[in-house]
Amino acid sequence: MATVATTSPSATPLTTGHKRVIIASSVGTVFEWYDFYLYGSLAAIIAKQFFSGLNPTSGFIFALLAFAAGFAVRPFGAILFGRLGDMIGRKYTFLITIVIMGLSTFLVGVLPSYASIGVAAPILLIALRLLQGLALGGEYGGAATYVAEHAPPGKRGFYTSFIQITATFGLFLSLIVILACRKMLGADFDTWGWRIPFILSALLLAISVYIRLQLNESPLFQQMKAEGRHSKAPLTESFARWDNGKVVLLALLGATAGQAVVWYCGQFYALFYLTQVLKIEAVTANLLIAGALLIATPFFVVFGALSDRVGRKPIIMLGCLLAVLTYFPLFKALTHYGNPAIEHAAATSPVVVVADPAKCSFQFDPIGKKTFTSACDIIKSALAKGGIPYSNQETPGTDGASVKVGATTIQSFNGTGMDPAAFKAQSETFNADLKSALASAGYPAKADPAQINQGMLLLILTILVIYVTMVYGPIAAWLVELFPTRIRYTSMSLPYHIGNGWFGGFLPTTAFAIVAATGDIYSGLWYPVIIAAMTFVIGTFFVRETKDVDISK
């Protein structure tokens, strides 16, 4: 295990060459995050292009699942590339991961849609997402380890914070490219122009490979290998031995899980919430998120440098605690300032679904074959598609279902076994009646630009991103310092990518599924709140502080 710092090879000041290496490593990582997050930023469009065989609600949730598929395999990429990084070096692993990421992203840009090749389109899309996830699984641990092993003691939080910026800056870059393409192409962006940001990855790949070829190997790794101290079995040493395995487990539950949900809630879920729930026009929502990222990004370095003074743990734990205490009021404030008509309509004319819960299905169909035809399913499908908040009134033992919109009650119908033509006609009548009732009650089809308080939205989104910088700025230094050099790449990569790949990557899917099931537009926040609370407790009481350790051991 790491020991208290005395004298180490990293104690000498960084030369200009070392600083250039760190910058080059960070720039390459920005491009890799750009590639990965393009998909998340364009999830709504991708749902229409590749999952058009599903109903709209299932299509969007399944598009989010395809986004999450890339996160699901990140731990396997961490194991694969972490082992390579600890055995043969950090530099060559960088080259492999960037090539896989760049080529996979480019291929998404030229992949035929569902309308062209049918079910093969989503299958190929998911396969490319899996390759992206494997590549990213090997990227972060190597970049963080590489930079930390060049940094002098007392500066690791500061220097690794630049790696932490890369994820947010990659998202920021993807949003800017998307906005520019939307501006130039207009309506054509949704039909074919969305491919351009993916195709641009070919250029970014060429730049990134050139950058990675300029890198030298980590000095700590070179010295360790020259002395014959490098691990011959990093997987066994990392996970099969309890003294290190328990640290891996604590790093996951007491650090990266909470960090991950705060990261994805403050950026991706916030974006989805603006566009899918509040119905704010995509360009406006993307500009607001980009503005918040631009304002808050310097705080990654602020909190990274601060962690060199006060420690990694206090800052990360405070960020988790603030998220737990304030997420619900902050997202309610987003509704108030982003689409107050929804808030007013829900207060004055609440929507209530009256049905037997046993006859209401979970509105999710991953293969597009299931039909939702019960009276309750027809109501909830229409409400979920429109982003309408509602509550449930249970009437066990009844066959029918109805929806109350304020004082107006609309009866649904049971479409099970109904002739397709009759079902279509009944659905059109029901949807027209529901739409009319919702409009009369003040529920908007889209957010009214005149009622959007962009200044307050920007402030709230900036607060959410500052929480992100608190939990993410110091995390790389904390993880690097928890593990010895011989197995550092492998040991830190797995808890990071399980935390961010599974706990964080599945946040949008899980949260939206909860909202669709309950009708409460805020209920999805329980997922990040519970995970962040768990991390706060475990991290506070069971994970040690590391800021003064010697990482050369």
pLDDT tens-digit readout, 409-434: 999 998 888 888 888 889 899 999 99
CATH 1.10.10 is the classification of domain 347-441: no
Q: Could you report the average pLDDT of every consecutive run of 10 residues in the chain (553 residues)?
A: 39 57 69 72 80 66 71 82 73 79 87 86 86 81 78 85 82 85 89 91 82 69 64 72 89 95 91 89 89 92 94 97 98 95 91 90 52 82 81 88 93 86 88 93 91 96 97 93 84 86 81 80 94 97 90 71
* Residue 9 confidence (pLDDT): 39
* Residue 260 confidence (pLDDT): 93
Class of residue 190 by CB neighbours under 10 A (exposed 0-12, middle 13-18, buried 19+):
middle
How many Cα atoms are found within 13 Å in the side-chain-facing hemisphere of 176? 12
* Residue 368 confidence (pLDDT): 44
User: How open is the CA angle 166-169-172, to the nearest 5 degrees?
Assistant: 155
Class of residue 326 by CB neighbours under 10 A (exposed 0-12, middle 13-18, buried 19+):
middle
**446 in Cβ contact with 279 (< 8 Å):** yes
Collapse the DSSP code of 392 into the 3-class scheme (helix H, G, I; strand E, B; otherwise coil) and give the result.
strand
**In the CATH scheme, what architecture does the domain 16-339+449-550 have?**
Up-down Bundle (1.20)
Classify strands 3-4 and 351-355 as parallel, antiparallel or unpaired: unpaired
**339 in Cβ contact with 278 (< 8 Å):** yes
* Residue 3 confidence (pLDDT): 41
pTM for the model: 0.82
| Tokens encoding 141 | 């641990």
Residues whose CB is less than 8 angstroms from the CB of residue 102 and which lie 6 or more positions away in sequence, other chains included: 31, 32, 35, 201, 202, 204, 205, 208, 209
* Residue 343 confidence (pLDDT): 87
Phi-psi label, residue 99: left if phi above 0, alpha if psi -120 to 50, beta otherwise? alpha
Give me the amino acid identity at 449.
P
Domain positions in the chain: 16-339+449-550, 347-441
Class of residue 187 by CB neighbours under 10 A (exposed 0-12, middle 13-18, buried 19+):
exposed
Question: What is the C-alpha to C-alpha distance for residues 156 and 220, in angstroms, rounded to an integer?
Answer: 14
Question: What is the C-alpha to C-alpha distance for residues 444 and 553, in angstroms, rounded to an integer?
Answer: 61
**97 in Cβ contact with 142 (< 8 Å):** yes
* Residue 456 confidence (pLDDT): 97
* Residue 371 confidence (pLDDT): 63
Q: What's the 3-state SS for 147-215?
A: HHCCCCCCCHHHHHHHHHHHHHHHHHHHHHHHHHHHHHHCCHHHHHHCHHHHHCHHHHHHHHHHHHHCC
pLDDT, tens digit, 9 for 90 and up, residues 103-125: 888 998 999 988 888 888 888 88
Question: What is the C-alpha to C-alpha distance for residues 505 and 32, in angstroms, rounded to an integer?
Answer: 16
Residues whose CB is less than 8 angstroms from the CB of residue 406 and which lie 6 or more positions away in sequence, other chains included: 348, 349, 350, 437, 441
Question: What is the C-alpha to C-alpha distance for residues 425 and 194, in angstroms, rounded to an integer?
Answer: 35
**448 in Cβ contact with 341 (< 8 Å):** yes
133 DSSP assignment: H
- Other beta carbons within 10 Å of 391: 13
Burial letters for 420-443: b for 16+ Cβ neighbours within 10 Å, e otherwise? Answer: eeebeebbeebeebbeebbeebbb
Classify strands 408-411 and 351-355 as parallel, antiparallel or unpaired: unpaired
| Tokens encoding 498 | 């399980």
